[in-house]
């Protein structure tokens, strides 16, 4: 298959945290890569599980980082959660909001009434990430759910990428409440559900979209459920070892180092690859033996091809100096 990765797709859907930025710091090369897509007329939509910002706030952040974006290009799990609540509840219903003001804004926008105490008799609880969510917020939600309120989570991402490394995400906060209640949420609205991706494709009128993400358990699973090809980049949560051990439903169709991969040749980034990458992988029981030379991420694609062909393994041994250097770059030593 000739041409660059994006040539065959009529839409590119980009995750944000771990793909375009970390916290509020740009990932090197991300802004030029997005600008290049737009310059060639390729539609781009940003889809994020992070419910702490409104689409307008996300767009403002992106523009400040040098990434061209408008609010109508941004889809968040807060929007999706509010729409789901509006589908289930009568207009004006009180909803206890656990999360950032952006989540309350979306709840208000669909005709529901945000509240913050169990004493306000909410008929539903919606839980999203905010850095200041604490015990008192979870306590009110716990009381409301015990009293019979519907419980929706915007997402259950266990961690959130940051420049300092992965930090507790909304899934960690949901887990705390689930422990107190002895049960799971009634619904999880964001990724790995397919809705964010499906809505993006519907708005763009796209028939063949490519999803780019950094997480196996949300981005890759959600895209697969939406029937879309998926590019995993290594700038966020997923590590090379995670990728080698990925179960079938979490595997990407393409693997790249970062968003610069979008300008590379499609067939070179596919897994399994049909082209000669310069790397050779031999399986010896539960161990992969790597030899050859070339780009480190190309070595990872070759290792994935071998790992996924049998029982997945992240036990890799280099048999040449070049292979040792590649494994060191990938964090696959030791």
Catalytic one of 7, 10, 15, 266:
15
Please say if 17 is a catalytic residue: yes
User: Smallest Cα–Cα separation from 145: which of 110, 174, 107?
Assistant: 174
Look up residue 197 and give its two tokens. Answer: 């991706």
Residue 136, phi-psi category: left (phi > 0), alpha (psi -120 to 50), beta (remainder) = alpha
Phi-psi region of 292 (alpha: psi -120 to 50; beta: other; left: phi over 0): left
290, 319 Cβ separation under 8 angstroms = yes
The 8-class DSSP code of residue 4 comes to B
10 is catalytic: no
- Are 230 and 254 in contact by the 8 Å Cβ rule? The answer is yes
Render 261-318 in DSSP notation, one character per residue. Answer: GGGSBHHHHBSS--S--SEEEEEETTEEEEEE-S-HHHHHHHHHHHHHTSS----EEE
94 — alpha (psi -120 to 50), left (phi > 0) or beta? beta
Choose, from 7, 10, 17, 242, the residue flagged as catalytic: 17
Q: Which residues are catalytic?
A: 15, 17
């Amino acid at each position: 298959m000739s041409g660059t990765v994006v040539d065959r797709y009529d839409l590119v859907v980009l995750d944000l945290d771990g793909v375009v930025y970390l916290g509020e710091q740009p990932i090197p090369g991300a802004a030029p890569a997005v600008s290049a897509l737009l310059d060639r007329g390729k539609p781009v939509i940003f889809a994020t599980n992070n419910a702490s910002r409104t689409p307008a706030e996300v767009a403002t952040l992106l523009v400040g980082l040098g990434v061209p974006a408008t609010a109508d290009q941004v889809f968040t799990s807060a929007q999706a959660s509010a729409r789901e609540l509006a589908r289930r509840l009568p207009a004006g219903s009180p909803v206890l909001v656990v999360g950032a003001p952006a989540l309350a804004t979306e709840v208000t926008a669909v005709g529901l009434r945000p509240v913050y105490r169990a004493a306000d008799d909410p008929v539903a609880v919606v839980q999203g990430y905010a850095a200041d969510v604490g015990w008192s917020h979870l306590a009110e939600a716990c009381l409301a759910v015990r009293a019979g309120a519907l419980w929706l989570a915007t997402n259950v991402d266990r961690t959130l990428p940051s420049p300092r490394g992965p930090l507790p995400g909304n899934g960690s906060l949901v887990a705390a409440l689930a422990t107190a209640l002895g049960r799971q949420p009634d619904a999880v609205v964001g990724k790995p559900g397919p809705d964010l991706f499906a809505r993006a494709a519907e708005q763009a009128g796209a028939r063949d979209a490519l999803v780019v993400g950094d997480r196996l358990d949300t981005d890759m699973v959600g895209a697969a459920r939406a029937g879309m090809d998926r590019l995993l980049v290594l700038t966020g949560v997923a590590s090379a070892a995670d990728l080698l051990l990925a179960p079938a439903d979490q595997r990407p169709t393409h693997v790249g180092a970062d968003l610069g991969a979008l300008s590379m040749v499609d067939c070179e980034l596919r897994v399994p690859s049909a082209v000669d990458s310069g790397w050779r992988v031999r399986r010896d029981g539960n161990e992969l033996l790597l030899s050859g030379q070339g780009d480190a991420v190309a070595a990872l694609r070759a290792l994935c091809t071998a790992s996924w062909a049998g029982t997945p393994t992240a036990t890799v041994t280099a048999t040449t100096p070049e292979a040792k250097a590649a494994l060191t770059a990938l964090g696959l030593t030791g």
